[in-house]
């Protein structure tokens, strides 16, 4: 793979050229990037040419009617460019905001099922403390969030301690115990706890959003069960709606805020009778990247923030690289 030439003194490229290159990579075409940047297409194309000339590498392959494809070196430069632009934004924001004030943008990711209960209180509380700061957030599956962290698109992400990549640093926020979700009129709904073995022959609604599906299936297999999966919704609320209509049971970690679905059907939240471990919710970031000041302040705030309903407080613990 070609490497980017190290240059002494002032670089031969500009932050504007890097920003245009990032826009091209994210848009997939030069014309779409120009529209997003609200500038002319020739100006974007010229900036890309100048950047490639300054770095002495080919960043992308341009194919008529097929957009642009990053070269291996282009992918490497894209990650570096995003970080450089973030650092430049940090410098500008801190210089303009005054001592002690936060400004700029914090890019936060959150696993889809955690977002409804975890994000709102964190966003509201943190924004109240730092009104000059903007928090952009993205909800997605855990595999996608980790890829976006490594590519430099996100500063931090709230995820489960499941299938976490070794490249990730993490800090534990709180833990939650998995539970069974049943229709309210299920014969076992009046029980305080339900054994997974009692549901072995019943249809299962499997939340198919990584890593939830792996976790639920692994839990069943650990007790010698092979569940009869009938439905695989990718949405937490669709899973609850199917259970509410009596179309199966589900195993979830995130607890719903109430026992009614959007359609008004009731569900019953039951403890699992078998000994199951609690699952940790983490704040994660790339191990190789130093947190900027905005991310550090958000991490501090999360240590003091109130936990969502259903979470069990645990001592806050940062899992350092040497651990």
Q: What is the pLDDT of residue 8?
A: 52
Number of domains in the chain: 3
Query: CATH number of the domain that 263 lies in?
Result: 3.40.190.10
Domain containing 297 equals 103-176+279-319
Shared domain for 171 and 293, answered yes or no, is: yes
Shared domain for 4 and 94, answered yes or no, is: yes
Q: What is the pLDDT of residue 82?
A: 82
The answer to whether 197 and 223 have CB atoms below 8 angstroms apart is yes
User: For the chain (length 323 residues), average pLDDT per consecutive 10?
Assistant: 51 84 88 88 88 89 82 86 77 59 85 90 91 90 92 91 94 93 95 95 94 94 95 93 96 84 89 94 90 90 68 42 35
Q: Helix (H, G, I), strand (E, B), or coil: what is residue 126?
A: helix
Shared domain for 18 and 89, answered yes or no, is: yes
Q: What is the pLDDT of residue 316?
A: 39
Give the contacts of 255 (CB within 8 A, at least 6 positions apart).
176, 179, 269, 309, 310
Shared domain for 204 and 259, answered yes or no, is: yes
Q: What is the pLDDT of residue 301?
A: 93
130-147: b (≥16 Cβ within 10 Å) or e: beebebebebbbbebbbe
Q: Which among 101, 126, 142 is the end of a domain?
A: 101
Q: What is the pLDDT of residue 259?
A: 83
Query: CATH number of the domain that 25 lies in?
Result: 1.10.10.10
Q: What is the pLDDT of residue 321?
A: 36
């Amino acid at each position: 793979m070609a490497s980017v030439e190290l240059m002494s003194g002032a670089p031969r490229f500009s932050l504007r050229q890097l920003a245009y290159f990032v826009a091209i990579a994210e848009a997939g075409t030069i014309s779409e990037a120009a529209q997003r940047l609200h500038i002319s297409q020739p100006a974007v194309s010229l900036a890309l040419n100048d950047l490639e000339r300054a770095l002495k590498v080919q960043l992308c392959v341009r194919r008529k009617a097929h957009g642009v494809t990053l070269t291996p070196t282009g992918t490497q430069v894209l990650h570096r460019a995003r970080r450089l632009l973030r650092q430049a934004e940090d410098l500008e924001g801190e210089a303009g905001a005054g001592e002690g004030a936060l400004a700029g943008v914090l890019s936060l990711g959150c696993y889809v099922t955690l977002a409804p209960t975890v994000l709102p209180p964190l966003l509201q509380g943190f924004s109240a403390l730092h009104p000059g700061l903007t928090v952009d957030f993205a909800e997605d599956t855990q595999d996608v969030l980790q890829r976006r962290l490594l590519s430099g698109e996100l500063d931090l992400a709230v995820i489960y301690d499941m299938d976490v990549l070794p490249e990730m640093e993490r800090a534990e926020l709180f833990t939650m115990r998995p539970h069974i979700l049943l229709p309210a009129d299920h014969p076992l709904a009046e029980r305080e706890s339900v054994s997974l073995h009692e549901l072995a022959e019943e249809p299962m609604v499997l939340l198919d959003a990584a890593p939830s599906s792996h976790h639920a299936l692994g839990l069943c297999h650990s007790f010698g069960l092979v569940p009869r999966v009938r439905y695989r919704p990718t949405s937490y609320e669709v899973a609850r709606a199917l259970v509410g209509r009596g179309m199966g049971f589900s195993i979830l970690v995130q607890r719903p805020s109430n026992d009614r679905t959007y359609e008004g059907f009731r569900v019953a939240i039951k403890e699992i009778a078998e000994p199951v471990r609690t699952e940790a919710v983490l704040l994660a970031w790339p191990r190789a990247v130093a947190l900027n000041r905005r991310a550090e302040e958000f991490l501090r705030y999360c240590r003091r923030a109130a936990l969502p309903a259903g979470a069990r407080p645990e001592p806050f613990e940062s899992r350092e690289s040497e651990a």
